[in-house]
């Protein structure tokens, strides 16, 4: 299958996300992208339609968007915040309080981003205890006192439910830390709360909308409030961009860290699968699921990864960052994945020039063929088989207060609460998965073998070897479309090769490379298995050479940009 002709990641495919981007499309994209938030407890749901939003009210329109912009310590990236805490310029308690104030001001009010679904009721007390330790000359680690948000499909031992945004899990208070959360705590991080997400990590419906959940409502993109925040780590991406925490953890099956980082204008890193433990994360796929850091800078992501990594590799990802790592590096340019949008291609070409100026040797790669017939069908089938097996296993491990113990139970629960759960889209993926057999089925075995071969030895590894390059680069995705509760996600022609890294289980980093009329776009760095340190260092070198991250402006729409407003007006 020639992906340039088939349009996979190119002009005829939306390859939209579920925590899972499953390839969609031909003439129209299939939508797998993905109400008030009870900030102190995410066990209550609202039935407000996600399309109703305060940004459209007269009161909100009269507010100056500049008043929503972060100032002082909250505007700084994670490494600078850590420097300030270490130097005694700010305390962890005051930092947590400032973040809580900002969440109240712009997540529940003002532009009402709805990116934070729950707050840790003990965050202030924990921050105070961390300050007392520091006053005695003791620190737990390099993240001591740093407030971090977790996507709400990740368990923590705090008094917060892990809901995946669903009513069925509103009482899922497990009292256990996912191993990477335990690692963050051991490094000194404060778990500030949980972020909203595309419900069930966007693996419930073929016609979903990114960033919507029954418990959290619709996440808003802080750059333009009517723009898609992508998913499924929508809240993590929006919250980091809006300076609601120093960093956040997202999860990805296929695109769910990279896409929201891309459209929210931040750094996102999807590690090699199993470098970060999958335990105590609401699952989709054991072959593709991973948690990863989402921050304003590559160094911040590396600092978080040092704490999160639980795999066999003993690597200091911060120490491995080298600002001159592009010098002499051979980089493969994935032209087959650049898409058709001329604005994206222009920014991508400018990024390539920056790579060359930093000393990289660029090798153009025009075409790619996985060699797998019906790749899309195989990829979708494999995820559905794994989801059924893993979600049944996960639900069986939840507290007795969770009444849905199987996927079949979830489907029936959603039918009973259709007024909330099915108000905007169906549960077609759930139903398709439930109809399948177990992992011993030959259909599953052949499907997973085909897609992994097509993205590993006949995919990324082949491209790296045949072109003698250390990494592949491409745009990280399309420009964000508008939120559409009527049609669900409607994405423009796709760009990016992230699906290859996702299915292969290989590392993938996105770094901001600019914007188009205020809508962010990123550049991707993709490598082979366990090349995480190399990929982070290459992205760090690009970031240091370009500094393309933009703070969000909280505009109601693109028409608030002077050049767009002028072009949209009828000539007089």
319: Cβ contacts below 8 Å, ≥ 6 apart = none
Cα dihedral 525→211→39→76 (10° resolution): 30
Catalytic residue among 151, 194, 388, 390: 151
Instruction: Give SS3 for 34.
Output: coil
Strands in 134-218 per DSSP E = 147-151, 190-195, 212-213, 217-218
Dmax over Cα atoms in the chain, in whole Å? 70
C-alpha span between 224 and 554 (Å, rounded): 6
- Compute the residue count for the chain: 572
Instruction: Give SS3 for 305.
Output: helix
In this structure, are residues 477 and 262 in contact, taking their beta carbons and an 8 Å threshold? yes
In this structure, are residues 386 and 287 in contact, taking their beta carbons and an 8 Å threshold? yes
CA nearest 350: which of 525, 145, 515, 566?
515
C-alpha span between 168 and 155 (Å, rounded): 15
Instruction: Give SS3 for 410.
Output: helix
Question: In whole angstroms, how far apart are CA 376 and each of 426, 512, 552?
Answer: 21, 29, 35
Structure tokens at 409: 């139970």
Q: Which long-range contacts (CB under 8 A, 24 or more apart) does 342-346 make?
A: 343/479, 343/516, 344/475, 344/478, 344/479, 344/495, 344/516, 344/521, 345/475
Structure tokens at 282: 């609401």
Catalytic annotation present for 277: no
Catalytic residue among 178, 198, 210, 232: 232
C-alpha neighbours within 13 Å on the C-beta side of residue 415: 9
Helices (H), 425-528: 428-434, 442-455, 461-467, 498-504
Catalytic annotation present for 285: no
Catalytic residue among 198, 256, 481, 537: 256
Residues forming beta bridges with residue 20, ordered by sequence position: 254, 255
Question: In whole angstroms, how far apart are CA 541 and each of 324, 361, 546?
Answer: 6, 14, 9
In this structure, are residues 549 and 296 in contact, taking their beta carbons and an 8 Å threshold? yes
How many angstroms from the chain centroid is the CA of residue 525?
Answer: 16
Catalytic annotation present for 91: no
In this structure, are residues 8 and 15 in contact, taking their beta carbons and an 8 Å threshold? yes
C-alpha span between 104 and 386 (Å, rounded): 39
Q: Looking at residue 571, what DSSP letter applies?
A: P
In this structure, are residues 362 and 348 in contact, taking their beta carbons and an 8 Å threshold? no
Which positions are annotated as active-site residues?
Answer: 151, 232, 256
């Amino acid at each position: 299958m020639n992906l340039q002709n088939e349009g996979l990641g190119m002009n005829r495919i939306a390859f939209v996300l579920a925590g899972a981007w499953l390839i969609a499309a031909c003439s129209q994209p299939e939508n797998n992208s993905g109400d008030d938030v009870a900030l102190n407890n995410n066990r209550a749901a609202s039935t407000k339609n996600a399309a109703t939003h305060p940004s459209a009210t007269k009161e909100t329109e009269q507010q100056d968007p500049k008043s929503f912009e972060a100032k002082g310590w909250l505007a700084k990236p994670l490494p600078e915040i850590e420097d300030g805490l270490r130097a005694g310029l700010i305390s962890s308690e005051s930092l947590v309080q400032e973040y809580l104030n900002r969440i109240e001001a712009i997540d529940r009010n003002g532009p009402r981003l709805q990116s934070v679904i729950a707050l840790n009721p003990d965050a202030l007390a924990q921050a105070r205890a961390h300050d007392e330790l520091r006053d005695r000359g003791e620190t737990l680690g390099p993240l001591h006192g740093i407030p971090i948000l977790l996507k709400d499909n990740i368990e923590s031992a705090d008094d917060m439910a892990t809901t995946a945004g669903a009513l069925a899990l509103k009482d899922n208070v497990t009292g256990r830390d996912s191993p990477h959360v335990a690692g963050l705590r051991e490094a000194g991080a404060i778990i500030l709360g949980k972020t909203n997400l595309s419900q069930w990590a966007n693996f419930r419906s073929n016609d979903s909308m990114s960033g919507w959940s029954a418990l959290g409502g619709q996440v808003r993109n802080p750059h333009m409030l009517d723009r898609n925040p992508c998913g499924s780590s929508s809240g993590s991406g929006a919250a980091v961009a809006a300076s609601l925490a120093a960093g956040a953890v997202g999860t990805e099956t296929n695109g769910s860290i990279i896409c929201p980082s891309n459209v929210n204008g931040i750094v996102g890193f999807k590690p090699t699968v199993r470098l970060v433990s999958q335990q105590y994360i609401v699952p989709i796929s054991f072959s593709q699921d991973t948690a990863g850091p989402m921050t304003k800078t590559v160094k911040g992501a590396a600092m978080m990864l040092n704490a999160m990594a639980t795999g066999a590799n003993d690597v200091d990802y911060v120490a491995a960052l080298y600002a001159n790592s592009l010098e002499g590096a051979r980089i493969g340019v994935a032209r087959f994945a650049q898409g058709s949008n001329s604005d994206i291609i222009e920014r991508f070409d400018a990024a390539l020039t920056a790579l060359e100026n930093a000393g990289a040797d660029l090798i153009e790669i025009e075409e790619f063929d996985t060699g797998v017939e019906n790749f899309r069908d195989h990829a979708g089938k494999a995820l559905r088989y794994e989801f059924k097996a893993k979600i049944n296993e996960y639900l069986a491990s939840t507290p007795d207060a969770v009444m849905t113990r199987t996927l079949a139970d979830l489907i029936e629960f959603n039918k009973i609460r259709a007024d909330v759960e099915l108000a905007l889209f169906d549960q077609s993926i759930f139903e398709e998965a439930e109809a399948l057999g177990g992992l011993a089925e030959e259909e599953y075995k052949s499907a997973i073998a085909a897609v992994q071969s097509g993205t590993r030895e006949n995919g990324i590894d082949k491209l790296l070897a045949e072109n003698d390059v250390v990494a592949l680069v491409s745009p990280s995705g399309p420009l964000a479309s508008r939120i559409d509760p009527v049609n669900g996600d409607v994405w423009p022609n796709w760009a990016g090769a992230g699906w290859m890294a996702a299915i292969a289980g290989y590392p993938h980093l996105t770094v901001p490379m600019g914007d188009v009329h205020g809508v962010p776009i990123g550049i991707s760095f993709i490598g082979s298995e366990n090349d995480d340190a190399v990929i982070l260092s290459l992205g760090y070198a690009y970031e240091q050479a370009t500094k393309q991250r933009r703070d969000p402006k909280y505009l109601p729409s693109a028409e608030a940009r002077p050049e767009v407003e002028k072009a949209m007006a009828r000539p007089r």
